Structure 1
Amino acid sequence: MYGDGRVLFVCVPSVSDVTGAGGVAPRWRLYIKQLEENGWRVETWTVDKSGLEMLPRCVHPFYPKTLIDSPSPLLIWKLYHRLQIGDIACVLITDLFNDVNLALLCYGVGIPLVFSVHTDGSKLPGGVPWIATLSQAITARLSDALVTTSKSFAKVLEERQVWRRRGERALYYAPLNCSELPYQNITKAQIETERTRLFGGQILKTRHLLTYVGRWSAEKRIDLLIQVVQKANKKASITLAIVGDAADDKVAADLLQWHNPPSIIILRGMRRRGPELVATYLASDWIVSASDFETFGNVAHEAASVGVPAILQIGPGFIDQIPTGRSDRGVLIDFGHDKADEQLIQAIRDTQHLRPQDVRNAVDTQKEGLGVQDVLAMALSRHSLESSSIFFRFVAIFNAFIVASFLRAFCATYAIYLSCALMVSSLFPSLRKSLRPPSRRVRWAGALSLRYIWRNQLKLWRQNSNPQLNLQQEHGQQTPTKEAETLYSTRRRIALAVEAPIHNSRRGTSIIHGGKKAVKEHAER
């Protein structure tokens, strides 16, 4: 569908936070490029923009680098005036805190709405599943089209009754073309250099190299992945390299304690999209993930596009990439199974013969799904068949302001609760259980120590502004810069955030002896 100069209004967390593997921002950066090439005028309102076209950031002392939008009646008022101008043909929103109130506003103004789901909110740590599902269901009911990133997750949304219109199915996108990750220009020397880095500075030709690349967070189940590899190492020679970063320094610090060469290599620092990221993919024998949180799994798709197979958790998103459980793209296993280590070893044996060209050919055969232009066409056609009275539209606009005000009060109250709960847990650890279920988020949010709490709070007060994106630690300092085209990046190369093997003085050079204690701590979290 050609835009013919019409305006598409897009509300997403970011289209410029594209440093690192996977993520929603690179996807939307490419979608917007495709839309503009097809004649659409795209107006984006994001969390990381400045000025009028900015969704207010939810600034929290323990999540200083997240891209979470903050609900606000002022935002609804500002968007209401923008939508009333009359030049907007369609509105598209993704997973935002403001989903329900934005959907009510679009319904009241009478503008077609597309709800694009990229996150399984019911599985976020510390969240309440039924609330996340209810929020998505209300937004979907007020939308003209619901679209997600894979066929399997579209089915999940239908089973949860998030989308339940008679005769209409939830839509899903076709896999993206990873043209921004060219592998042809990567030399053997670059691959060997990166492979040495992933092995912790050593050249180990007899070990299999499995790599996890991407964001470090609780829902990715990286600790489970490490435990399975450690167990498998009793029967095979496997190195697991964990490459990425966390929004919370405490989460990163916890993960760095697993560093135990040559079996477990923890490298903190996102790889820059382009040759650096491609070199990391190509230097790996397999890309691995134990996450059961994915709606598609962009990292595995990117790796397969350059010719690297994957060993992935059985679950939504991943089963779209490897539909039969075993193919030229890799193998699906259950990392939560008692014999996951045996499944991992067998998966390595079954796929070690694959050539890069075999993997790339398998990617090229999987094109099922819709383009973003097709989704817009369906939403506009559905909207033309619907009509609502002026009274219901007025009620929807009024409720948009009510919901925004309620969510704003909730955010403020919850932030106060987190701060108090952290302090109470620090002073009286025995009371931690009485703080559940929110204490799950509290424990994950940061260290249970007053020193850590006050250090982060003071740092936030000193900034007196919203923190920048893509901060990267170099020698203990954070040095953000702002480049052209509103892309936030680092001043120097992101790739070398952690070069030398880390010696853990508290646990000694080996992490294995402290494994049971670490597993217990992660289980409590």
Structure 2
Amino acid sequence: MSPARALTASLPAGSLPAASLPAASLSTASPGSGEALHVAVVSDAWYPQVNGVVRTLATTAEQLNRMGHRVTFVTPDRFRTVPCPTYPEIRLALFPDRRVTELLDAAHPCAIHIATEGPLGYAARRYCLARGLPFTTAYHTKFPEYLQARAGIPLSWTYRMMRRFHAPSSGVMVATASLRRELEAQGFPNLRDWTRGVDVGLFHPRPSILDLPRPILMYVGRVAVEKNIGAFLALDHPGTKVVVGDGPQRTELMRQHGDVVFVGAKSGEELAAHYASADVFVFPSRTDTFGLVLIEALASGVPVAAYPVPGPLDVIADSGAGVLDEDLGRAVAGALRIDREVARARGLHFTWARCAEMFVDNLQPFDGAVGQRQAA
């Protein structure tokens, strides 16, 4: 398989339609020009991982294809990898620089977006800097807080590393205004807004599939320490707590909380049906940058209970679709009184089409031939 074909093949079959526009015809496109772009997206997070980063990138790419743009992915499935310590399902590329260079040279993109700060992200960053090519990045994950929670690494150390990574970026895309303010205070430059969307055709109110004592309090997402799920499971509240998802902390939490229903990871219609079966969606995380699960729950007609932190603050705002409180139990009690139609209305506010439009507006296109001439 040729490098160019390998790139487009990195997306699961059927996820994105094949683009027919040749790269040479795309080299002078720019955001807002009405012309098609050929965007290379480099990400250390990709299938079979199930998380917000992967869903955001894949769905944004689908929208970009519908808009007439072409998206090429550089992802771990094209490299020799090793499992990430403590997260074996996350694969880290080994010595990726040469292969990244081959793939990007073959693709001839007219814009490069680096989605993650992992081995592939660093290799793509070096590629762009060596050729004087502009690129954009995104701040998907609060790694400083994540590493502090898991390994006790001081926030200042990791923020210094993250600032250095993003400093040359033409635009650092962030999902919420709260996160933007936090990063501005940490000295991050060139911040750009990039919201998220929800498939309102999939996630919508429907009859419950769960025959459990009410109210049903539900968490959906990765079952890991940085998600702070223990704060939810420790609540003394009538009804049933349900956890939808999998992860490294699941066995431990199942052992500690025998009264909680763990249903494992779900997807598609089955996931949507579980959302709609809840009476309240409980989001205990303090480290997410957005929380796609929040708007999936809202679109399903389920009010939200969460802490007043970035992500929930921006998603709920003054909509009345959820209750944010430092006392999570009090937030749950308040959310139970919210009309489900109010939650659904807030979910309809977020669209993937708008997400894709903002992504394009944030890109920094260049002549696709420039990098090849400079590398020669």
TM-score range, shorter chain: 0.7 to 0.9
Q: Percent identity?
A: 20
- 1:159 equivalenced with 2:185 (yes/no): yes
User: 1:259 aligned to 2:257?
Assistant: yes
Say which one has the larger Rg.
1
Aligned residue for 1:64, secondary structure, equals strand
Three-state SS of the structure 2 residue aligned to 1:371 is: helix
Deviations 1:106-133 (A, max 9, x none): 1222332110111001011214433432
> Which residue is 1:218 aligned to?
225
TM-superposed CA distance for 1:373, in Å, is: 4.0
Identify which of 62, 65, 74 aligns with 1:45.
74
CA distance in 2, matches of 1:269, 1:86: 38
Partner secondary structure for residue 112 of structure 1: coil
> In 2, are the aligned partners of 1:172 and 1:370 still within 8 Å (CA)?
no
Using the alignment, how far apart are the partners of 2:166 and 2:143 within structure 1? 14
Partner residue, 2:204:
183
Which residues in structure 2 correspond to 1:122-141 (within 5 Å)? 122-124=144-146, 125-126=150-151, 127-141=153-167
CA distance in 2, matches of 1:301, 1:63: 26
Task: Tell me the distance in 2 between the aligned counterparts of 1:271 and 1:131.
Answer: 36
Question: Aligned pair in 2 of structure 1 residues 316, 182: CA closer, same or farther (>3 Å)?
Answer: closer
* Aligned 1:29-108 pairs, distance under 5 A: 29-47=58-76, 49=77, 54-60=78-84, 62-66=86-90, 68-72=91-95, 75-85=96-106, 87-98=108-119, 99-108=121-130
Tell me the TM-score normalized by structure 2: 0.79
Q: Compute the displacement of 1:33 (Å).
A: 0.6
- Give me the whole-angstrom Cα distance separating, in 1, the residues matched to 2:325 and 2:198: 26
- The secondary structure found in structure 2 opposite 1:211 is strand
User: Are the counterparts in 1 of residues 72 and 107 from structure 2 also a CA contact under 8 Å?
Assistant: no
Please state whether the residue corresponding to 2:110 is helix, strand or coil: strand
Q: Residue 2 of structure 1: CA displacement?
A: 6.5
1:195 counterpart = 2:210: yes
Q: Secondary structure at the match of 1:58?
A: strand
For 1:316 and 1:115, the matched residues in 2 are separated by: 19
1:23 to 52, 66, 70: 52
Structure 1 CA distance, aligned partners of 2:342 and 2:57?
A: 28
Paired residue for 1:297?
291
Q: What amino acid maps onto 1:78 in structure 2?
A: R
Shift of 1:309: 0.5
1:209 to 216, 239, 243: 216
Partners of 2:114 and 2:57 in 1: CA distance: 11
Deviation at 1:304, TM superposition (A): 0.2
Give the match for residue 140 of structure 2.
118
Letter in 2 for 1:172: D
| Matched residue, 2:19 | none
Distance, in Å, in 1 between the alignment partners of 2:265 and 2:164 is 36
- Give yes or no for contact 2:39–2:71 (8 Å, CA) kept in 1: yes
User: Following the alignment from structure 1 to structure 2, what is the Cα–Cα distance between the partners of residues 85 and 58?
Assistant: 25
Which residue of structure 2 lines up, in the alignment, with residue 145 of structure 1?
Answer: 171
Q: CA deviation at 1:297?
A: 1.1
What CA deviation, in whole Å up to 9, does each residue of 1:289-346 have, x standing for no partner?
211011001111110012110101121111001224xx43110111xxxxx3xx624x
| 8 Å contact kept, 1:181–1:278 | yes
Q: In structure 1, give the amino acid aligned to 2:261.
A: I
Q: Letter of the aligned partner of 2:230 in structure 1?
A: D
Contact 2:101/2:127 (8 A) holds in 1: yes
Mapped to 1, the partners of 2:352 and 2:54 lie a distance apart of 22
* Count of matched residue pairs: 337
Would the aligned equivalents of 1:258 and 1:266 in 2 still touch at CA under 8 Å?
no
Structure 1 residue 360, shift from structure 2 partner: 1.6
- Aligned twin of 1:352: 336
Aligned equivalents of 1:71 and 1:143: distance in 2? 24
8 Å CA contact retained: 2:136, 2:364: no
Letter in 2 for 1:244: G
Tell me the distance in 2 between the aligned counterparts of 1:349 and 1:252: 26
For the 8 Å contact 1:3–1:38, the answer to whether it is kept is: no
Separation (CA, whole Å) in 1 of partners of 2:33 and 2:47: 25
Gaps of 5+ in 1: 335-339, 395-525
Secondary structure of 1:245's counterpart equals coil
Q: Is the aligned partner of 1:244 residue 2:245? A: yes
Partner of 2:29: none
The equivalent of 2:321 in structure 1 is 329
Cα distance in 2, alignment partners of residues 372 and 301 from structure 1: 17
- Cα deviation, residue 174, structure 1: 2.5
SS for the counterpart of 2:217 is: strand
Shift of 1:140: 1.8
- What stretches of structure 2 of length at least 5 have no aligned partner? 1-31
RMSD (CA atoms): 3.1
One-letter identity of the residue aligned with 2:329? L
1:459-482, CA deviations, whole angstroms, 9 ceiling, x for partnerless residues?
xxxxxxxxxxxxxxxxxxxxxxxx
In 1, the alpha carbon distance for the partners of 2:177 and 2:289 equals: 9
The residue number in structure 1 matching 2:18 is: none
1:271 equivalenced with 2:266 (yes/no): yes
8 Å contact from structure 2 (residues 300, 344) kept in 1: yes
Q: Secondary structure at the match of 1:183?
A: coil
- The Cα shift of 1:56 comes to 4.0
Which runs of structure 2 are paired with 1:387-406 in the superposition (5 Å)?
Answer: none
Is the Cα contact below 8 Å between 2:192 and 2:362 reproduced in 1? no
Which residue pairs with 1:455 in the alignment?
none
Q: 1:365 to 1:348 in 2, by over 3 A?
A: same
